[in-house]
Amino acid sequence: MGGALTLQGTDPALKVSVTLNRVINPATPASDFLKPQSGNKLAAVEITLTNAGQAVYTDAPTTGAWLIDAEGRQYRFSLSNVTEGQSFGGTVTVNAGDSRKGVIVFEVPEAVRLTTFQFGLNYGIASQKGEWTLS
């Protein structure tokens, strides 16, 4: 789906290769408890995080992720789970050379046209952000 981008963290020894594997739009709620509000839907992205640096990568990937629509509005993650993939489940710890794969879920308006996925390391505060165009 999307090529790998290597992002720099706040620590110079932290480099993570981020690959956008797929976009799930719409996504199916895994439970009735966390369904989207009326007029909204769930969308999700599946990414792979590979530690390409020397430092251990510890992060909550959902907090550094945004979906952006054709009007430039951005959407933060949702606590919902979807049937199409396994979430990161909070915090990940990835040693040098290791990888983690998971989905990040978003609640967005039903009629929205999503155009961009943006991701940053270190809870989203690292200055470098990766962007992928969604088709």
The domain total for the chain is: 1
In a domain, 41, yes or no: yes
**Residue 125 is part of which domain span?**
4-130
Query: Is 135 within a domain?
Result: no
Cα–Cα distance measured from residue 60 to residue 97, given in angstroms and rounded to the nearest whole number = 18
Q: pTM of the prediction?
A: 0.95
Q: Where are the alpha helices (DSSP H) in the chain?
A: none
Q: Is residue 109 part of a domain?
A: yes
pLDDT tens digits, one per residue of 90-117: 999 999 999 999 999 999 999 999 999 9
Query: Could you tell me whether strands 4-8 and 74-75 are parallel, antiparallel, or unpaired per DSSP bridges?
Result: unpaired
Closest C-alpha among 60, 20, 59 to residue 43: 20
CATH number at residue 119: 2.60.40.1240
The residue to which tokens 């046209």 are assigned: 113
pLDDT value at position 105?
98
